[in-house]
């Protein structure tokens, strides 16, 4: 005959074993699903970037360097007077010119660049037209200013998260789930152009014919920028 203490132990063990399947059946069951949502909008290109240059050649490299420096210094002084425009000097290169046989140096060629950027298109266009009397056009391009990019990214981020939540809820309902939880979520933006050397959408209009300065007529356009939300959710099934 079993002792009362041993009988109580066996009954408790049996009770615990009987409760394990019940607990297992009550535990929520999850299925993982990968989802992607994307939102986009058109953003105006509000930053104009112009690259101008001067280039010349001379048999005397010293005289050539002096000529290039004088021309660029004059342009820099002229550009500094326009407060709405940010300026910086680009690359400066000098290289020899050889004869037809490629053996003897017959002269030197030098080139230096001036980079201008501004959100004030009329001011930069006018300055560009004036500088083109002594410099040459290297490129004109348009981008989205950093402040504008941040504002548009913040707005798109909120929209992308809301779009992801809506898609997650739709997937949950399609599976007959009771709810979901987000396992991971990644947000990425794209479509923001960066200035590079090209000259699109540029026309030369003689707006200042009296002064002899050609002012570029600009058409910056817009960029279609987007924000994507890629992630995984776990759907709770009944």
pLDDT of residue 37: 96
pLDDT of residue 166: 96
Question: Which mean pLDDT values do the consecutive 10-residue runs of the chain (238 residues) have?
Answer: 46 42 56 94 92 95 95 96 94 92 91 96 94 93 91 94 96 94 94 56 40 62 91 92
pLDDT of residue 168: 96
Q: Is the pTM of this model over 0.75?
A: no
The fourth-level CATH superfamily of domain 47-143 is: Protein of unknown function (DUF541), domain 2 (3.30.70.2970)
pLDDT of residue 238: 83
CATH class of domain segment(s) 29-45+145-199+220-238: alpha beta
> Using alpha carbons only, what angle is made at residue 135 by residues 133 and 136, rounded to the nearest 5 degrees?
105
Cα–Cα dist 119/165, whole Å: 37
Residue ranges of the domains in the chain? 29-45+145-199+220-238, 47-143
pLDDT of residue 192: 80
pLDDT of residue 29: 61
pLDDT digit string, tens, across residues 221-234: 888 899 999 999 99
């Amino acid at each position: 005959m079993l002792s009362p203490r041993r009988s109580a132990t066996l009954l408790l063990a049996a009770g615990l074993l009987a409760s394990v399947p019940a607990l297992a059946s009550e535990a929520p069951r999850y299925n993982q699903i990968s989802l992607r949502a994307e939102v986009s909008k058109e953003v105006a290109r509000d930053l104009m970037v112009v690259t101008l240059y001067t280039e010349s050649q001379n048999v005397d490299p010293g005289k050539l360097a002096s000529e290039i420096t004088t021309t660029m210094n004059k342009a820099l002084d002229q550009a500094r007077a326009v407060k709405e425009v940010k300026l910086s000097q680009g690359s400066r290169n000098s290289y020899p010119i050889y004869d037809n046989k490629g053996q003897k140096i017959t002269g030197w060629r030098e080139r230096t660049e001036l980079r201008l950027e501004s959100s004030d298109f009329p001011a930069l266009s006018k300055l560009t037209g004036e500088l083109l009397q002594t410099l040459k056009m290297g490129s004109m391009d348009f981008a989205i200013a950093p402040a504008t990019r941040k504002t548009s990214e913040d707005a798109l981020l909120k929209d992308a998260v809301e779009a992801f939540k809506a898609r997650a809820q739709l997937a949950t309902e399609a599976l007959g789930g009771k709810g979901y939880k987000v396992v991971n979520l990644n947000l990425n933006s794209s479509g923001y152009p960066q200035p590079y050397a090209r000259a699109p959408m540029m026309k030369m209009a003689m707006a200042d014919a009296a002064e002899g300065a050609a002012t570029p007529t600009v058409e910056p356009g817009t960029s279609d920028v987007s924000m994507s939300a890629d992630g995984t959710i776990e759907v709770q099934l009944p």
